[in-house]
């Protein structure tokens, strides 16, 4: 619009220039970059392709279908993915961001627990980004300024190897039966493993506790231990469940269902959300580190994860995606996929504990568990 | 010291003739076979050490229900990460051995010779790696050292924590060897013959420390190949990391991997031992 | 035995061109370098340790005493809380128990394999196996023992078939006892490797001499064998204790927090998925350092006492 320029004087341009300079300065200060709405996809794809690589961390291939998500991303955009430390923890992800700062191996995208997302925000480790489908994500599952956003959630379930266990337990009361002596394992220590912590919280909800009170859950497991039903081995993979050494494992539903599918031919696994009690769920959060070596690839990865196709891939991995309600409303969930999933009832009733409730529960757990739970 | 013992041993035959009571069993050095009790000990030890391995082996052949086969092994050998991670671990082990010997052996020899007062300090240092948890050491290392990138970003960076991980074992092995060997006398003998430090170390001391050195090599080798924590936190794909990652999805493959790693390292050890030893050593042999 | 007419000036060229300090110098610089070489290597080692082990640890200790408002002792005194006290207690008990098992088992197997009558192939197999088993730890070891002695393990079930229910009798692979049994898998081989050179140093002539003088086997051991071996036995015991005290992967796979241990607590707060507390982690690490220092002090007192006959 060459003619419009003549309508403004030099002072106006000076002001524009200053504003631009200020904006650029603010934009270049780490952590203070303003959140942008999702850029045009083509520009993003081109920029990401130029970076050529994406570093992800702690994404096991059989966790929430990440294997398929990574493969399809590479196939679609031609960007290679390096998946480091698939078995790592959220704390290790933040540690990697800190210790690998400035290196080409530093992680570009994080998938961390909500308490760690809060820590990352406090330590200014993330840069904000809002995906194109931002508005269809429920409010309780995203940071208002875009520093983190929930990608999928799961609920606590009971997985049983029915080759070893003749009748699968279906409720918290069932687990106390003497037939299950030495059979029930957790996915690690509740003080260190998210799934085990959730199991205790879920047990609490099913035995008179609430989101503000995890103590009944600890007492429940103390009783299981005294009865001899609790098996202290850490079922951090499918080995103990499928081999039958610990034929009942209380774990995230998406993990158990994944193990069920992978064990076809080796063992029959049945997965049940505990009946007669409020289901306990938790979500994991996506975040982009502020110093990511491939920031555009990271943003494209997020766009991919939150697209309809990406969210449905999560669902195919039995992890209920953050935009589940939106997808269901628009009838986008294929019937055959819906058939393989557990009944939708518990998922519509799931509620998430707030950060304060989780922090309080952690403290109670750390005090009570070493005192009370002994086999 | 040796002169008096030798003098005592000489008239043994005479003394034996005058011994108060005849000895029912042969003299210690004359025994050519192990007693039954010895074999019982060995059998019990074998049972304890082999049964868990056999269980792992049985599981690695399991294909579900009552079927057993080699599918886990075939899958394991054809996974791309298998060979690269194995070679990386072996390479790191060799680098660690070189670094350990270069730093530790001369220092310890000289402490024994020149500065015995420093020995408690060395003892203390050799036990420090147990005291400092891996996670904490990584935290400290990465805070302090952020470059140069040719070191920090490559797996060779792992050699530094691996040196310390193997330090207690390597130190103890060398220490026992040096204590048993009379370093002072040997060195003085060599010096009185006009040898320089290089000759003393390479021609006098090291050959006599062969058992201890081999022990140190074995310990360092297996420590590095089996190490998991540092490699996984620093995001390097070593063999132990590969085994662990496999265990998260393919459980029989993971069992096959563990067994394979065990047997492979065992064969390596046997090889090192058999080539490093000329004559069998016994209780009472010189070395 | 001494060579006549040998002086340093006619000494053959040696490694590095430096002559031993005792010889009459073939030049002041040569003697100086010869004298400096030992100290160079000692200092090099110490500098390496300082830079890559001590310095990062100091970072840790500083963190222990740094609260949100500066210097604080609260994290250190917080170690007296029940949950951490019991962790230290368990870790120490586990360390001592598995060190003892390793000591006894390792010594007996080493001694057996080093008898003059033992076949050479036996010795090679045992030593090579020991080297590998000494590092077979973590999830593979835990899984191997779970499938052997776990509540549904092979040996457990076999024993149940013949009427012996070890779990009903109180045994559990997941108790401190069970963990000691599991730890023995790498503790015994470790002791074996450490003690082998020392046993080989027991001269055959000494045994023959003592028998010739009329000593019984027991007297030989009490008066000759054990006193000579004691320093190495003690050193090995210390090593085994440290190895068990700082073990992490194996006990984690065997206890879901059922038995509190210091290393597991540290990983929970530093690299877990539930909570994150770097200062508590640093305090626990400092606590570990304190325990090991005490153990080291006891060791050095006892070993000085036991080695006094050597001076």
Mean pLDDT value across residues A9-34 = 42
Distance CA A224, CA A230 (A): 5
pLDDT higher than threshold 50 for residue C20: no
Interchain CB distance below 8 Å, A192 and C146: no
What are the sequence ranges of the domains in chain B?
Answer: 34-69, 81-276
State whether residue B32 sits within 8 Å of chain A by CB: no
> In the prediction, which pLDDT does A18 show?
43
Residue A21 pLDDT class (50, 70, 90 cuts): very low
> In the prediction, which pLDDT does A23 show?
41
The per-residue pLDDT for range B230-255, each reduced to its tens digit, is 887 777 888 888 888 787 778 888 88
Distance CA A308, CA A287 (A): 19
Interchain CB distance below 8 Å, B59 and A104: no
pLDDT higher than threshold 80 for residue C27: no
State whether residue B283 sits within 8 Å of chain C by CB: yes
Interchain CB distance below 8 Å, A183 and C267: no
State whether residue C226 sits within 8 Å of chain B by CB: no
The pLDDT mean for chain C works out to 81
> In the prediction, which pLDDT does A206 show?
93
pTM, whole model, 2 decimals? 0.78
Q: Provide the b/e sequence for A7-43 (b: ≥16 CB within 10 Å).
A: eeeeeeeeeeeeeeeeeeeeeeeeeeeeeeebeeeee
Structure tokens at B273: 């031992």
The per-residue pLDDT for range C166-219, each reduced to its tens digit, is 888 888 899 999 999 999 999 999 899 888 878 887 877 788 888 888 888 888
DSSP string of B138-155?
Answer: HHHHHHH----HHHHTSG
> In the prediction, which pLDDT does B48 show?
94
pLDDT higher than threshold 80 for residue A310: yes
Interchain CB distance below 8 Å, B146 and A95: no
The per-residue pLDDT for range B30-50, each reduced to its tens digit, is 566 778 888 898 999 999 999
Best of B5, B131, B224 to disrupt the C interface (most C CBs within 10 Å) is B131
- Which residue among A189, A236, A240 sits closest to C268, beta carbon to beta carbon? A189
User: C153: which chain A residues are within 8 Å (Cβ-Cβ)?
Assistant: 245
Hey, CA dihedral for A10, A16, A20, A21, is it positive or negative? positive
Interchain CB distance below 8 Å, B63 and A265: yes
CATH class of the domain at B81-276: mainly alpha
What domains, with CATH codes, occur in chain C?
17-64 (no CATH), 77-310 (1.10.3720.10)
Higher pLDDT, B32 or A368: A368
Mean pLDDT value across residues C13-20 = 40
Residues 6+ apart with CB under 8 A from A317: A63, A64, A65, A66, A68, A69, A254, A258
Shortest CA gap C129–chain B (Å): 6
The per-residue pLDDT for range B121-168, each reduced to its tens digit, is 888 888 778 767 676 787 778 777 776 767 777 888 899 999 998 898
Whole-Å CA distances, B53 to A292, B82, C119, C177: 44, 21, 24, 21
Higher pLDDT, A114 or A185: A185
Best of A59, A87, A191, A197 to disrupt the C interface (most C CBs within 10 Å) is A191
What domains, with CATH codes, occur in chain A?
36-152+282-343 (3.40.190.10), 154-279+350-372 (3.40.190.10)
Q: Provide the b/e sequence for A197-234 (b: ≥16 CB within 10 Å).
A: bbbbbbbbbbbebebebbbbbbbbbbbbbebbbbbbbb
Q: What element of type H or E holds B173?
A: helix B159-180
> A279: closest CA among A156, A152, A150, A153?
A156
Chains with at least 3 CB pairs less than 8 angstroms from chain C: A, B
DSSP-derived pairing of the beta strands A184-186 and A230-234: parallel
> In the prediction, which pLDDT does A30 show?
39
Best of C41, C47, C59 to disrupt the B interface (most B CBs within 10 Å) is C41
Best of A189, A284, A362 to disrupt the C interface (most C CBs within 10 Å) is A189
Distance CA A272, CA A276 (A): 12
Structure tokens at A65: 């279908």
> In the prediction, which pLDDT does B202 show?
83
> In the prediction, which pLDDT does A249 show?
96
Interchain CB distance below 8 Å, C152 and A182: yes
Question: Taking CA atoms, what residue in C is nearest to B54?
Answer: C144
Distance CA B82, CA C111 (A): 39
> In the prediction, which pLDDT does B135 show?
66
pLDDT higher than threshold 90 for residue A202: yes
The per-residue pLDDT for range C268-300, each reduced to its tens digit, is 887 778 888 878 888 888 888 888 888 878 887
pLDDT higher than threshold 50 for residue A158: yes
> In the prediction, which pLDDT does C83 show?
87
Interchain CB distance below 8 Å, C274 and A116: no
Percent of chain A whose predicted confidence (pLDDT) is above 90: 49
Most confident of A354-358, B257-261, C85-89: C85-89
Chains with at least 3 CB pairs less than 8 angstroms from chain A: B, C
> In the prediction, which pLDDT does B28 show?
60
Question: Could you tell me which residues are beta bridge partners of residue A53?
Answer: A80
Beta-carbon count within 10 A of B12 CB: 16
- Cα-Cα end-to-end distance for chain C: 27
The per-residue pLDDT for range C59-82, each reduced to its tens digit, is 878 888 887 777 777 887 888 888
pLDDT higher than threshold 90 for residue A215: yes
Contact predicate A265/B64, CB 8 Å: yes
Give SS3 for A85. coil
The pLDDT mean for chain B works out to 79
Residue B25 pLDDT class (50, 70, 90 cuts): low
Distance CA C116, CA A344 (A): 73
> In the prediction, which pLDDT does B275 show?
67
User: C202: which chain B residues are within 8 Å (Cβ-Cβ)?
Assistant: 283-284
Give SS3 for A49. helix
Contacts A–C by Cβ distance under 8 A: 127
Beta-carbon count within 10 A of B22 CB: 6
Question: Taking CA atoms, what residue in C is nearest to B20?
Answer: C214
> In the prediction, which pLDDT does C117 show?
79
Mean pLDDT value across residues A335-339 = 85
Distance of CA B284 to the CA centre of its chain: 22
Higher pLDDT, B49 or C223: B49
State whether residue C62 sits within 8 Å of chain B by CB: no
The per-residue pLDDT for range C170-185, each reduced to its tens digit, is 888 999 999 999 999 9
- Which residue among C139, C151, C271 sits closest to A92, beta carbon to beta carbon? C271
Interchain CB distance below 8 Å, A105 and B235: yes
CA geometry: angle at A152 spanning A149 and A153, to 5°?
115
- Which residue among A62, A85, A236 sits closest to B235, beta carbon to beta carbon? A85
Interchain CB distance below 8 Å, C115 and B31: yes
Q: What element of type H or E holds B61?
A: helix B36-61
Interchain CB distance below 8 Å, A247 and C257: no
Interchain CB distance below 8 Å, B233 and A85: yes
Interchain CB distance below 8 Å, A245 and C152: yes
The pLDDT mean for chain A works out to 85
Interchain CB distance below 8 Å, C151 and A196: no
Percent of chain B whose predicted confidence (pLDDT) is above 70: 82
Interchain CB distance below 8 Å, B266 and C129: yes
ipTM associated with this complex: 0.79
Contact predicate B233/B138, CB 8 Å: yes
> In the prediction, which pLDDT does A346 show?
80
pLDDT higher than threshold 70 for residue A295: yes
> In the prediction, which pLDDT does A207 show?
93
The per-residue pLDDT for range C85-117, each reduced to its tens digit, is 999 999 999 999 999 999 999 999 998 888 887
CA atoms within 13 A on the CB side of A301: 31
> A93: closest CA among C66, C276, B240, C266?
C276
pLDDT higher than threshold 90 for residue A172: yes
Best of A114, A123, A185, A188 to disrupt the C interface (most C CBs within 10 Å) is A188
């Amino acid at each position: 619009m060459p003619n419009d320029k003549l309508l403004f004087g030099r002072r106006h341009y000076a002001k524009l220039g200053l504003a631009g300079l200020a904006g650029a300065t603010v934009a270049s200060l780490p952590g203070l970059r303003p959140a942008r709405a999702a850029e045009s996809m083509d520009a993003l794809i081109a920029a990401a392709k130029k970076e050529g690589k994406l570093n992800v961390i702690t994404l096991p291939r059989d966790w929430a279908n990440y294997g398929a998500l990574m493969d399809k991303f590479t196939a679609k955009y031609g960007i290679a993915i390096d998946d480091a430390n698939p078995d790592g923890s959220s704390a290790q992800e933040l540690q990697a961001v800190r210790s690998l700062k400035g290196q080409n191996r530093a992680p570009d995208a994080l998938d961390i627990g909500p308490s760690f997302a809060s820590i990352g925000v406090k330590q200014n480790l993330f840069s904000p980004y809002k995906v194109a489908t931002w508005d269809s994500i429920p409010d309780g599952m995203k940071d208002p300024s875009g520093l983190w956003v929930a990608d999928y959630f799961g609920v606590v379930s009971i997985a049983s190897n029915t080759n070893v266990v003749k009748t699968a337990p279906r409720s918290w009361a069932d687990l106390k039966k003497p037939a299950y002596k030495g059979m029930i394992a957790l996915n690690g220590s509740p003080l260190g493993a998210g799934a085990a912590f959730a199991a205790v919280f879920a047990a609490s909800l099913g035995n008179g506790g609430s989101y503000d009170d995890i103590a009944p859950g600890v007492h429940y497991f103390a009783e299981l231990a005294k009865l001899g039903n609790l098996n202290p081995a850490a079922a951090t993979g499918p080995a103990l469940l499928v081999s039958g050494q610990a034929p009942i494992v209380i774990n995230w539903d998406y993990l158990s269902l994944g193990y069920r599918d992978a064990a076809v031919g080796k063992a029959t696994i049945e997965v049940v959300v505990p009946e007669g009690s409020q289901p306990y769920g938790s979500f994991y959060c996506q975040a982009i580190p502020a110093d990511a070596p491939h920031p555009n690839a990271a943003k494209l990865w997020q766009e991919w994860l939150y697209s309809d196709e990406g969210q449905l891939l999560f669902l195919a991995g039995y992890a209920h995606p953050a935009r589940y309600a939106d997808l269901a409303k628009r009838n986008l969930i294929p019937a055959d996929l819906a058939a393989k999933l557990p009944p939708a009832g518990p998922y519509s009733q799931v509620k998430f504990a707030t950060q304060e409730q989780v922090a309080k529960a952690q403290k109670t757990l750390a005090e009570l568990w070493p005192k009370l739970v002994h086999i | 010291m040796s002169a008096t013992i030798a003098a005592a041993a000489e008239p043994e035959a005479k003394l034996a003739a005058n011994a108060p009571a005849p000895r029912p069993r042969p003299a210690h050095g004359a025994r050519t076979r192990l007693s039954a009790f010895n074999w019982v000990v060995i059998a019990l030890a074998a049972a304890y050490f082999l049964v868990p391995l056999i269980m792992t082996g049985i599981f690695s052949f399991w294909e579900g229900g009552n079927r057993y086969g080699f599918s886990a092994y075939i899958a394991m050998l054809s996974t791309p990460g298998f060979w690269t991670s194995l070679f990386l671990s072996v390479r790191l082990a060799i680098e660690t051995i070189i670094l350990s010997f270069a730093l530790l052996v001369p220092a310890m020899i000289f402490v024994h010779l020149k500065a015995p007062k420093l020995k408690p300090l060395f003892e203390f240092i050799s036990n420090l790696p147990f005291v400092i948890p891996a996670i904490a050491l990584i935290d400290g290392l990465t805070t302090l050292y952020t470059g140069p990138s040719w070191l920090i970003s490559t797996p060779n960076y792992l050699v530094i924590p691996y040196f310390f991980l193997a330090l207690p074992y390597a130190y103890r092995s060398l220490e026992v060897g040096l204590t048993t060997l009379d370093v002072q006398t040997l060195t003085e003998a060599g010096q009185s013959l006009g040898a320089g430090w290089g000759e003393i170390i390479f021609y006098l001391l090291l050959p006599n420390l062969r058992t201890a050195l081999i022990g140190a090599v074995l310990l360092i080798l297996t420590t590095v190949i089996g190490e998991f924590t540092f490699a996984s936190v620093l995001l390097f794909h070593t063999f132990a990391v590969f085994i662990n990652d496999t265990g998260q999805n393919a459980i029989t493959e993971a069992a096959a991997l563990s067994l394979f790693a065990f047997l492979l390292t065992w064969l390596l050890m046997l090889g090192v031992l058999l080539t490093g030893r000329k004559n069998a050593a016994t209780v009472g042999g010189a070395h | 035995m001494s060579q006549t007419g040998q002086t340093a000036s006619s000494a053959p060229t040696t490694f590095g061109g430096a002559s031993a300090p005792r010889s009459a110098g073939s030049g002041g610089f040569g003697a100086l370098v010869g004298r400096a070489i030992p100290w160079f290597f000692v200092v090099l080692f110490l500098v390496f340790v300082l830079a890559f082990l001590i310095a990062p640890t100091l970072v840790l200790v500083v963190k222990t005493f740094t609260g949100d408002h500066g210097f604080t002792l609260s994290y250190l005194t917080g170690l007296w809380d029940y949950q951490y006290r019991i962790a230290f207690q368990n870790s120490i008990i586990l360390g001592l128990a598995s060190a003892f098992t390793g000591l006894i088992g390792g010594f007996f197997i080493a001694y057996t394999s080093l008898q003059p009558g033992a076949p050479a192939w036996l010795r090679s197999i045992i030593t090579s196996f020991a080297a590998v088993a000494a590092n077979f730890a973590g999830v593979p070891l835990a899984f191997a023992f779970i499938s052997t002695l776990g509540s549904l393990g092979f040996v457990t079930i076999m024993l149940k078939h013949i009427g012996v229910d070890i779990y009903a009798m109180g045994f559990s692979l997941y108790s401190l006892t069970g963990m000691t049994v599991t730890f023995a898998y790498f503790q015994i081989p470790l002791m074996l490797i450490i003690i082998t050179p020392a046993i080989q140093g027991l001269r055959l002539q000494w045994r023959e001499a003592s028998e010739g003088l009329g000593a019984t086997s027991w007297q030989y051991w009490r008066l000759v064998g054990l006193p000579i071996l004691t320093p190495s036995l003690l050193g090995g015991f210390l090593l085994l204790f440290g190895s068990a005290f700082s073990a992490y992967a194996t006990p984690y796979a065997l206890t879901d927090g059922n038995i509190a241990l210091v290393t597991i607590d540290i990983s929970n707060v530093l690299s877990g998925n539930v909570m994150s507390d770097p200062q508590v982690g640093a305090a626990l690490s400092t606590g570990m350092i304190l325990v090991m220092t005490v153990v080291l002090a006891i060791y050095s007192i006892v070993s000085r006492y036991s080695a006094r006959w050597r001076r």
